[in-house]
Structures are given as structure tokens and as C-alpha cells.
Amino acid sequence: MTPATPATPAEQALDEALALVSRTPPEGGGSGGGSGGGHRAAAWPRARDTAARAGGAAGARARTHRVPLADGLGEVLAEPLDALTDLPSFDTSAMDGWAVAGPGPWNVRAGEGVLAGSDRPAPLADGEAVRIATGARIPADTTAVVRSEHCRESGSQLFADRPVLTGQDIRPRGQECRSGDLLLPAGSLVTPAVLGLAAAAGYDELTTRPRPRVEILVLGDELLTEGLPKDGLIRDALSPMLGPWLTRLGAEVIGTRRLGDDPAGAEALFQAVTTSAADVVVTTGGTASGPVDHVHPVLRRAGAELLVDGVAVRPGHPMLLAGIGGPGEGRHLVGLPGNPLAAVSGLLTLAEPLLRALAGRRPRPRYTAAVQGDVPGHPHDTRLVPVLLTGEHAQPLRYNGPAMLRGVAAADALAVVPPHGARSGQELEILDLPWASGGCFT
Ligand SMILES: Nc1nc2c(c(=O)[nH]1)N[C@H]1C(S)=C(S)[C@@H](COP(=O)(O)OP(=O)(O)OC[C@H]3O[C@@H](n4cnc5c(N)ncnc54)[C@H](O)[C@@H]3O)O[C@H]1N2
Ligand code: MOO
């Protein structure tokens, strides 16, 4: 297991080099001042709200589609789920035993009895009993079901060994719902349980909001797609990570392309910004103001509207969100910084709220956990720190520098550390990673 917060002088030096060590900021020091790079950084909570609002506005015009039941998993219902049948659709035995009519003892009807799936069994005469299976249709005029362990057969007669109440162990037709009852409102997430309920209620197809389509553009000349880093080149760590991560966030990833830092790459980026079929273009790298950082110039040239241009969060402060395409198109670009953990920070800060709202999903439920050990803070900016969730605590992990994935790969969640840091035991907002608690069916 990866140990907690920096312990050795070398680790502390690393954090200091990253300007992450807690200092007392000047009185009134807000969240916008520390992010450099010429950006007007938005406070972290505000950036998330802006992304959610942008997605909500565009999502309000979203398409709907009819899909076979299984294909609706992870999408959101565009119409209420009304029962197409009573459930149960007939009076049903809740137990294996005997259907009886009137008070006992009863005369046993000869034959194999009534099994699940049998159509209309013959009605019972008063004083008659017939063997019945769980889930089988109750014969007309049955007054109760007696469990097999609560009675005994003697000759052709059946005797109960305890009092029998009228209606016992019978699930009456419509007990769960009547045909036409609202089972779930529009806007509900289609989970495996919803698929089961929809099938039980008679559905073969669902009307849902399609997943938002995402195109991923990975910028950078220094990236290798295989083998070991060499000659100043490094492995592209973002392509393997972003597609599946965005899928877990509810997106349909329609493609991942690598673009060079040359004019051809900038032109391809411009074409994607202006004509991509995706609802959201996600770029990585090129967000800073280096000589080959194309994202800002391309967005300017395309007349995009910068909704978020830098966020007061570490890592990831150069992240951005822009409205792209023509008026009313409702398309967006999320610019993730190239440093891999900074890109993760951008995913959780901008891409997730945007995609959830575009898909019609509710914002993620908020919760906190007590942090184990003091956590250094940035003087002005929020920090997102990979943590392990133990029974009671969030345990910060090492290797949480902007260029590192080692911490987050071992983590369950990111903890939101306010400016100035947190004391041991302090409650911090926790952002679960999509696979935490095994909850990643989308
Ligand atoms: N003068 C300044 N320079 C930088 C600032 C600043 O404020 N002023 N911010 C730094 C921060 S913080 C970050 S984060 C990066 C953001 O840079 P970009 O988004 O422009 O990304 P690149 O320069 O293209 O790459 C940064 C870094 O990440 C590596 N990288 C990029 N793509 C990948 C990938 N697919 N897989 C693995 N690693 C990747 C790249 O090689 C660089 O090392 O800017 C700082 N600079
Ligand atoms: O904060 Mo950067 O965004 O160092 O990775």
C-alpha cells in the first residue's frame, strides 16, 4: 500500500518545489490570485458550477432515442417509466406448499399440482388443497397458501400444524404496481436494477437521452504510443486513460486522435473545433502559453467563448472550458493540461459536471470524510489529492505531483483540500473515482 503524506526530506523538497507547502496567505487572499500564466482563474467550486450550467443549458435541447433494453444502461430515461402491466400480473404463490380453500383439513387434489408458468389452474372446491410452487398462479377460490413445512399429508388429506390466516403467502395481483402506475420519473439513471424493473414491467425498449459524444484530441510531438521512453520522447499516458474514464463518466467516445505541435496539428485542431460531430471535444496538452501551445490561439481564431480560462486548483490550473461551434449548437471544448494528474484534475473539475448535465444526470452526491494526517495546502488554490478510503478516514497518498499517476492509480478518490491545507481529522469533500466501491457499470 502506498504510504501517506510526505515523510522524508526528499519528499518534502519535492512538494516545496511544486509550491504546494502551506503558508499563511495575506489577509483576504482569495482563490483567484495564485494561478499565474496570465489566466483569470476561477475558484474551483465556481468552475464546477460553470461546467454544470453549461451542460444543463446544452442538455436541455438534447436528442432522445429508443434503444433495446440492454443498450439503455448508463443513460437517463427521457420519458417516465410507467408500468405496462400489473405486478404481479396474477395472484401468485409466495411459497412452495399447498393452495387451500376454506378451513382444513383438506382433500388433496391428485396430480403434480400447479407449477410456475402453468396457465389457469382449475378452481379449488371448498375444502380442497392442491400442491403449488413459488411463483405459480393461484387457482380461483384459493383462500390461503400453506407452506410445505407447516403441514403434513395423511392418506388423501392435508392437515395444517398451525393456524392458517386468510390470504397468507399469496401475492395479490397488482401488489407492487397497477398498469399505468409511475415506476420511475423521467431523468432517472438506467442502472442494472432499472433494467430489471423495466423488463418485469413489460418493456423491450427504453426511450433515453443518448450519451454525450466525445472526441479526444491528444496534443504533443513528444509522445510515443509504444515501448520505452527514449531520446526525450515519453509514453502517451493520456490516450489509454481518457477514453475509458470518459466512458465511465457517461460519454460515448467517438474517437481519439493524436495531433502534432506543428501547423498541421493546429489546423486539425481548428477543424475539430469548428466541425467535430462530438458534443464535447476534449483536448490534452497545449493549454499553457508555450510556443507550441495551440489551444488558446485556435479557440480565438474559431471565435469560441471561453467560459472557464484557468482554475484556482492544483494540479491542473491551466484547464479551460469553451463554448464552440455556431450559435445554438451547444458544443463544448474541455482543454485538459498535459501533465497527467493535472488532466485528471480537469476531468473531475470540468468534464464530469459538464457531461453529467449534458446526459441529464444529477450532480454527484456530495460527501465528506475526515482526513488522516495534516495535508499541506496551496497558499491560494484548492488542491485535489489522491486518497485511499479506509473505513473511517481518507488517507492521502504520496506521488501526487502534477506529472505523476502513481498516487491516483492506487487511490479510491481525490480529497478536496482548501487553500492553506487541512488539519488531521478535518472533514474534506471527497470525489470518488468512477471505479471506487465497484460502482462503475456505465
Ligand atoms: N510559463 C508557464 N509554464 C507553465 C505553466 C505556467 O503557469 N506558466 N503551467 C504549468 C502547468 S501547471 C502545467 S499543467 C503545464 C500545462 O501544459 P500544457 O497543457 O500546455 O501541456 P504540455 O506543455 O503539452 O505538456 C505538459 C507536460 O505534460 C506532458 N504531457 C503532455 N501530454 C501528455 C500525454 N499524453 N501523456 C503523458 N504526458 C504528457 C508533457 O510532456 C509535459 O511534460 O504547463 C506548465 N507550464
Ligand atoms: O498544476 Mo499543473 O496543472 O502543474 O499540473
Atom 25 in ligand 1: residue holding the nearest Cα: 338
Assess whether pLDDT exceeds 90 at residue 281. yes
CB atoms within 10 A of CB 199: 12
**Domain final position from 358, 384, 411:** 358
- Site to probe by mutation for ligand 1, drawn from 223, 339, 405 as the one with most ligand atoms within 8 Å of Cβ, is 339
Residue range 59-73, pLDDT digits in tens:
777 789 999 999 999
Residue range 25-51, pLDDT digits in tens:
333 333 333 334 444 799 999 999 999
Separation of alpha carbons 383 and 404, rounded Å: 15
**Domain final position from 332, 358, 384:** 358
Closest ligand to the CA of 402: 2
CB atoms within 10 A of CB 436: 15
In a domain, 10, yes or no: no
Q: Is 82 exposed, middle or buried (0-12, 13-18, 19+ CB in 10 A)?
A: middle
Q: Are residues 237 and 343 in the same domain?
A: yes
Separation of alpha carbons 383 and 375, rounded Å: 10
Q: In percent, how much of the chain has pLDDT > 70?
A: 90
pTM: 0.85
Distance of CA 49 to CAs 302, 366, 413, Å? 25, 13, 20
Contact 322, 299 (CB under 8 A): yes
Separation of alpha carbons 207 and 337, rounded Å: 36
CATH code of the domain covering residue 248: 3.40.980.10
Q: Are residues 199 and 260 in the same domain?
A: no
Residue range 162-190, pLDDT digits in tens:
999 999 999 999 999 999 999 999 999 99
- Check pocket membership of 342 for ligand 2, CB cut-off 6 A: yes
- Check pocket membership of 338 for ligand 1, CB cut-off 6 A: yes
Q: How far does residue 342's CA lie from ligand 2's centre (Å)?
A: 5
In a domain, 16, yes or no: no
In a domain, 25, yes or no: no
ipTM: 0.97
**Domain final position from 320, 340, 358:** 358
What nine digits make up the cell of 405?
499517476
